[in-house]
Structure 1
Amino acid sequence: MSTTVLAVGAWLKNAACLVLRGQPHWSPVHGDLSDPAACEALEQSVQALLRQAVAAGAPVRAIAHDLHPDFFSTQLAIATAEALGVPAVGVQHHHAHLAAVVAEHGIDGPVVGLALDGVGLGTDGTPWGGELLWLDGARWERLGHLRPLALPGGDRAAREPWRMAASALHALGQGDQIVSRFGPAVGEAVAVGVRQMLDKNLNCPATSSAGRWFDAAAGALGLCLHQRDEAQAAIALEQAATRAWTRHATLTPLPGAVVGADGVIDLRPVLAQLFDAPDADAAAAGFHLAMADALADALIAAAHARGTRTAALGGGCFFNRILRERVEQRLTSARLTVVQTGAKGCGDAGLAIGQAWVAAQTLAPSQQPSVEETLSCA
């Protein structure tokens, strides 16, 4: 990556990255861009990195950003690119997660990978987060994803895992149980309102997010109904699964996961078993294993179909040790080479280098972007 590119990072845990003569130069982590102070810090970092590039005699040739048009980082990138007279390159969030792995390991050639996190805007305008992608230079393709779940109440569903559990019940054709199961804990009127939203599909955007599937599982098991902190439900679910391993020598995946020919991974039959599970800890472990195995099976099939032996793992859900180790075990058993991010971690704080890598590849004259790449740069 010889082209000098500046990337402005993600919305959460924002950090910018300047790639100068093939070496990354990072800003501090600014935090979430919902905080005006973080926005101001990002703007200052962008100017500092631009000055660094000029001082090195290698001015920035492009500025990379997320696809979401309303992010402060996107607007800053576009305004700065216009002022400099260089392209602003939009990069899909999960593409950037896997590109960060490719960039860090210096991989040349096709890769299939899983990008699992809470949310990122997809090229179809919906929130993604459980993605199976193929990458080769500037080209990329979405090969599969977790079956979307409705978000009753939109962003509020990400803060209240019981809503995701209610969404799963509705998707299972058991919406009539929402009020009886969750009304005593959250209030009958609120539970009735959520059921009505789901029935009428009002304010219920669909997401393929792995994070929201973890929320649904935690809500179904009663481990976490409301989140005060980021990933609280997912952490509670992992802790429950870890407790199960201290009590059981052997645990097996819950049955029922389906990997469709269209690449859609359906965990509804697995999640259905959580609502009345006699042992919440063992059920949490079984859910982890079922999800990991289904995702790994989908990736293995994609690797064989695309003729590649390299599998990349990215996105904040891979902070989950059980998920990460199980997926890696399944992939290495299938004789795939597994690559993951290093010092910057798998989450959004290390995303910018992936954005920069994609932008540099897009500018390379030998690269012909795919349909998705063309959409992401629009």
Structure 2
Amino acid sequence: MTDPVAEVIPLPHPVPPVLAVGAFLKNTLCLASGDKAFISRDVGNLETVEAVRAFDACAEHLLSMAGDLPVALAHDLHPDFHSTRWAEAFATGMGVDVVPVQHHHAHVAAVMGEYGLQEPVLGLALDGFGLGPDNESWGGELLLVGPHGYQRLGHLATLAQPGGDRAAREPWRMGAAALFALGRGDEIAARWPAMHGADVIARMLQQNVNCPRTSSCGRLFDAACGLLDVKPVARFEGEAPIELEKLVTRPTVDEHGYRLQDGELDLLPLLDRLLGMDPADGANLFHGTLTAAITHWVNEAVAATGIRRVVLSGGCFLNRVLTNGLVDGLEERGIEPLRAMRLKPGDSAVSLGQAWAVEMSIAG
């Protein structure tokens, strides 16, 4: 049998055993115990029988490694994940504390765990989806994270997500949502004539039916792809943004392409500019302006808090253009960006973040 433990991260001091059960996508589990965090292999997305069986086997293995019962189990806020239900059932049966950890809090805490940090940091968590405590879809978050939890300092302005999760695999839907937000919903059917149901999507947006709002940076990328006709229908979530990044040659910046008010960063002016642009020119403009906007956003938070360390986390940081641009822009302003080192920035690191968030709270 393949060793279920794929990575061992050294911790800065001995900790009591905490088992964290990870995210829904790219699921891993993590046992923090003693001076190490043991992270399981990626068992996949918890939507197949095979992944669920692999999850259960990894959980059993890590529990056997712990020896004693863990002092706590950590899980995602989402109540319907197999990982959440497993953690709650185990905790109830064994009399162990169970601690929900918000998805983006965990993303930031994962990088803190890699660096052995407990002092407060700013955290920029950019990804596709994570449930917020308000029961809304989060994914473009600026957080203050420390041993006593997290504070949401700001977020990307929300967009409608017509059809819910389906919009993550059909970026033209997010393009339609952007067009509607710009007051041009009557153009949706004509703009995407090849898309079956474009007129239905226009009516859904008009009537606000099955159009949950999201602050997701991943969906913002999808909106840009939809407007630029880059992979309007994708095979998997994230495919269109990958193709958009490949078109970038030299990022350009529209200084009027965003608005920042009360911590909310609104890129709708940028999306307006993308309409009718050549895809390569649009890719350059989108990446350059998004990077400049986020750099400004973080700089404002640094000025307000006095904290000069900023964690960059979440799956959007697999985009090298965005990541390198942000690192350069922040360092030019005397801000220290911290990125994942041994782990990936995406959901496979969430279990470490869940565990470290709980360990920080225990240590106080």
Q: Determine if the TM-score, normalized by the shorter chain, exceeds 0.5.
A: yes
1:1-378 mapped onto 2 (5 Å cutoff): 2-54=15-67, 58-183=68-193, 185-187=194-196, 190-241=197-248, 244-245=249-250, 251-277=251-277, 279-364=278-363, 367=364
TM-score, structure 2 as length reference = 0.94
* Structure 1 residue 139, shift from structure 2 partner: 2.5
* Structure 1 residue 259, shift from structure 2 partner: 4.0
Counterpart of 1:328 in structure 2: which amino acid? V
Q: Which ranges in structure 1 are unaligned for 5 or more consecutive residues?
A: 246-250, 368-378
Residue 67 and residue 141 in structure 1: after superposition, are their counterparts in 2 closer, same or farther (change >3 A)?
same
* Structure 1 residue 138, shift from structure 2 partner: 2.4
Measured in 2, the distance between the counterparts of 1:132 and 1:152 equals 25
Counterpart of 2:34 in structure 1: which amino acid? R
CA shift digits 1:142-198 (9 cap, x unpaired) = 111111110111111111100000000000111111011012x213xx011000000
Counterpart of 1:213 in structure 2: which amino acid? L
- Bigger Cα displacement from structure 2, 256-265 vs 297-306: 256-265
User: Secondary structure of the equivalent of 1:155?
Assistant: helix
* Structure 1 residue 271, shift from structure 2 partner: 0.8
Measured in 2, the distance between the counterparts of 1:139 and 1:17 equals 19
Measured in 2, the distance between the counterparts of 1:33 and 1:256 equals 42
Residue 149 and residue 177 in structure 1: after superposition, are their counterparts in 2 closer, same or farther (change >3 A)?
same
Contact 1:17 1:356 in 2 (8 A): yes
* Structure 1 residue 99, shift from structure 2 partner: 0.4
Measured in 2, the distance between the counterparts of 1:52 and 1:106 equals 22
Counterpart of 1:177 in structure 2: which amino acid? E
Q: CA RMSD in A?
A: 1.2
Counterpart of 2:206 in structure 1: which amino acid? D
CA shift digits 1:243-271 (9 cap, x unpaired) = x33xxxxx421342334331111111001
Equivalent residue number for residue 8 of structure 2: none
* Structure 1 residue 362, shift from structure 2 partner: 2.7
CA shift digits 1:260-315 (9 cap, x unpaired) = 331111111001111111x3202111101111111121111111211111010000
Contact 2:252 2:287 in 1 (8 A): no
CA shift digits 1:206-234 (9 cap, x unpaired) = 00000001001011111111110231111
**What percentage of residue pairs aligned between the two structures are identical?**
44
Counterpart of 2:89 in structure 1: which amino acid? A
Measured in 1, the distance between the counterparts of 2:69 and 2:96 equals 10
CA shift digits 1:95-134 (9 cap, x unpaired) = 0000001111012311012100000001110010010000
Contact 2:258 2:270 in 1 (8 A): no
Contact 2:118 2:360 in 1 (8 A): no
User: Secondary structure of the equivalent of 1:10?
Assistant: coil
* Structure 1 residue 83, shift from structure 2 partner: 2.1
Contact 1:256 1:267 in 2 (8 A): no
Contact 2:75 2:99 in 1 (8 A): yes
Residue 107 and residue 259 in structure 1: after superposition, are their counterparts in 2 closer, same or farther (change >3 A)?
farther
* Structure 1 residue 47, shift from structure 2 partner: 1.2
Measured in 1, the distance between the counterparts of 2:332 and 2:238 equals 30
Counterpart of 2:38 in structure 1: which amino acid? H
Contact 2:121 2:307 in 1 (8 A): yes
Measured in 1, the distance between the counterparts of 2:318 and 2:283 equals 17
Measured in 1, the distance between the counterparts of 2:149 and 2:39 equals 25
User: Secondary structure of the equivalent of 1:2?
Assistant: strand
Measured in 2, the distance between the counterparts of 1:234 and 1:155 equals 16
Contact 1:6 1:16 in 2 (8 A): yes
TM-score, structure 1 as length reference = 0.90
4+ long deviations beyond 6 Å: none
Contact 1:113 1:299 in 2 (8 A): no
User: Secondary structure of the equivalent of 2:164?
Assistant: coil
* Structure 1 residue 4, shift from structure 2 partner: 1.1
Measured in 1, the distance between the counterparts of 2:236 and 2:203 equals 28
User: Secondary structure of the equivalent of 1:25?
Assistant: strand
Aligned length: 351
